[in-house]
Structure 1
Amino acid sequence: MNRSGSLYIEKESLFHKLDGSVKLLMLILWTIFIFMFMDIRIFILMSLIGFAFISIAKLPLKNIAPLLVFIIIFTFMNSLLLFIITPQYGSSLTGRYTVLLNLFGYKLTYETLFYAITLSVKYLSILPITIIFIFTTHPSKFASSLNRIGVSYKVAYAVNIALRYIPDVKDEVRNIVNAQQARGVAFKRGDASVYRILKNYIVILIPLIISSLNRVEVISNAMELRGFGISKKRTWYNREPLHKNDLIFIVLSIVLVILGIFLKQNFSIGFWYP
């Protein structure tokens, strides 16, 4: 992880050399394509392509693992809520009713289980391109790219600062946790119950918020002293023109959405159930 670039991982790869606005466009159009369908076959194919992109980007697994774990937990919780709230929703979509679990009048069907799996794979298929966007885009270059496509430089710079200070907030959390552990507060498994550990983590949010607000005030004062925001436009030191690969990925992203529209209109692809 590059300290000057937040979650950005400095590597020499095809995706690292792409313009930030191009990667943002890829993420948006990729997401639009995914949300056009409810077909696990398409999601599996897009997931394979996406993880192949991650391999090309040469991103270390240890750096992207936390985000992977978070998304997997999110999809699991989403599926669990689906089972609890609408255990027969999949059956209403397919017109079939095959009971998988019948417990005290609660009936979960195979169709709902398959629907939940499809929904989970759908979310996971967006993950690879999101990882590429987050970990291969330097905040400064991304800010200039946003400004290139018409976003105000004030907004672009705010995004830049937010991305840059993620590591600082993470370090602040670590420092607060270490200070509390030195005072005997439990934060590790085995030192206290899960409920107590979660409660302790919630308590440290207060000093973290105060510290973050102090940092915001320091930054805003420094920017104000330098006259930030006086001019309507600004130049960018590290802005580069679009290259051949940028144009290729723009075209491929647009073609992907056009393909999705064609498939949707001509084949009426809805929720696929084998």
Structure 2
Amino acid sequence: MNRTGSLYVTGNSLFHRLDGAVKLVLFMAWTVMTYMFLDLRVFVPMLIVGIVLLVTAGIPFKRMAFLFWLMIIFTVLNSIFIVLITPTFATRLTGTDTPVIPLGYNTINSETLFYVLTLSAKYLTLLPMTILCIFTTQPSAFAASLNRIGVPYKIAYAVSIALRYIPDLTEEFRGTLNSMQARGMGISKEDGSILQRIRNLAAVVVPVLQSALHRIDSVTNAMELRGFGTQKRRTWYSGKDMEPLDWTFVVLGVVLLAAGIWLKVKMLRGFWYPFS
């Protein structure tokens, strides 16, 4: 966590210089583009572009390691469940069945393996853009940008507070967990049965949630004392005007989305399987 108490990582990369609202537009266009398709020919170039942008942003891996490994674990588990539960699922998409791996109760076919590969690429394509938007945007600047594009300032400020306090709660959870482990209440395999570990984890989560509620109450009281919400408008210390670079990327996001819609309607309508 940096000294601002947020996930923001200081830098001067292209994404760091973009306005928060522009990043939101790009993220929405990127997400819609990703979910429109089920085609590896689309996901591979998008993933490469996302990785290049992520590398150029200069975000330390240890700062984004949690999100990275969380997405990897989710993708792997999702793929395993699909293959084991519906080993011939992709047959209904391609109309072909090429058995590869016998399971006893069924046989995994190559169509489903390729489908799992495509689906994994789909999920991973979202990861670089998500990390970029989270770690290259100051919460206050993002809230100001949201308010400027029409989002009520109360909602924008709530988003800003959430982004600021996520690292604090994470740090508090780690500290509470370390103190519990020092007292012999761990959550690893060596610390007892699954039920016992769940109880130990609950003993960590409950005080952290109570602390979060106390923080919310304190922030609410402080904001009420300062008259927050009494005016229809408010000013922002970190607000700034849109620059030519920002407008360029807004146009780029719109063009990307339009190109995606055209490809979906005209060319890449369904699941792409190259061996059918």
Q: TM-score range by the shorter chain?
A: over 0.9
Residue matched to 1:221: 221
Residue matched to 2:206: 206
3-state SS, counterpart of residue 4 of structure 1: coil
Residue matched to 1:148: 148
In the TM superposition, 1:39-188 aligns within 5 A as 39-188=39-188
The reply on whether 1:6 has 2:6 as its aligned counterpart is yes
Aligned 8 A contact 2:79 2:116 in 1: yes
Q: TM-score, normalised by structure 2?
A: 0.94
The CA distance in 2 between the partners of 1:268 and 1:166, in whole Å, is 39
Structure 1 residue 216, shift from structure 2 partner: 0.8
Show CA shifts across 1:47-83 (max 9, x none): 0000101122111112112111100111112212222
Aligned 8 A contact 2:43 2:122 in 1: yes
Structure 1 residue 251, shift from structure 2 partner: 0.9
The CA distance in 1 between the partners of 2:225 and 2:63, in whole Å, is 36
The CA distance in 2 between the partners of 1:103 and 1:239, in whole Å, is 59
3-state SS, counterpart of residue 204 of structure 1: helix
Q: What is the alpha-carbon root mean square deviation over aligned residues?
A: 1.7
1:5 and 1:139, CA in 2 relative to 1: closer, same or farther beyond 3 A?
farther
1:128 and 1:223, CA in 2 relative to 1: closer, same or farther beyond 3 A?
same
- Which is worse superposed, 177-186 or 27-36? 177-186
The CA distance in 1 between the partners of 2:241 and 2:134, in whole Å, is 21
Structure 1 residue 85, shift from structure 2 partner: 3.2
Aligned 8 A contact 2:87 2:108 in 1: yes
3-state SS, counterpart of residue 165 of structure 1: helix
Aligned 8 A contact 2:11 2:58 in 1: yes
Structure 1 residue 84, shift from structure 2 partner: 3.3
**Structure 2 unmatched runs, 5+:** none
Structure 1 residue 171, shift from structure 2 partner: 1.9
The CA distance in 2 between the partners of 1:140 and 1:271, in whole Å, is 41
The CA distance in 1 between the partners of 2:72 and 2:63, in whole Å, is 16
1:209 and 1:5, CA in 2 relative to 1: closer, same or farther beyond 3 A?
closer
Q: Write the letter of the residue equivalent to 1:129.
A: M
Q: TM-score, normalised by structure 1?
A: 0.94
Aligned 8 A contact 1:71 1:124 in 2: yes
Structure 1 residue 198, shift from structure 2 partner: 4.6
Show CA shifts across 1:91-114 (max 9, x none): 111111011222232222111111
The CA distance in 2 between the partners of 1:182 and 1:268, in whole Å, is 56
Q: Write the letter of the residue equivalent to 2:95.
A: G
Residue matched to 1:30: 30
Aligned 8 A contact 1:27 1:129 in 2: yes
Show CA shifts across 1:24-51 (max 9, x none): 0000001111112111121011000001
Q: Write the letter of the residue equivalent to 1:30.
A: W
Q: Write the letter of the residue equivalent to 2:42.
A: I
Q: Write the letter of the residue equivalent to 2:180.
A: Q
Question: Identity over aligned residues, as a percent?
Answer: 48
- Which is worse superposed, 226-235 or 175-184? 175-184
1:51 and 1:237, CA in 2 relative to 1: closer, same or farther beyond 3 A?
same
Aligned 8 A contact 2:15 2:132 in 1: yes
The CA distance in 1 between the partners of 2:261 and 2:129, in whole Å, is 20
The CA distance in 1 between the partners of 2:203 and 2:64, in whole Å, is 27
Structure 1 residue 205, shift from structure 2 partner: 1.2
Aligned 8 A contact 1:5 1:138 in 2: no
- Which is worse superposed, 6-15 or 129-138? 6-15
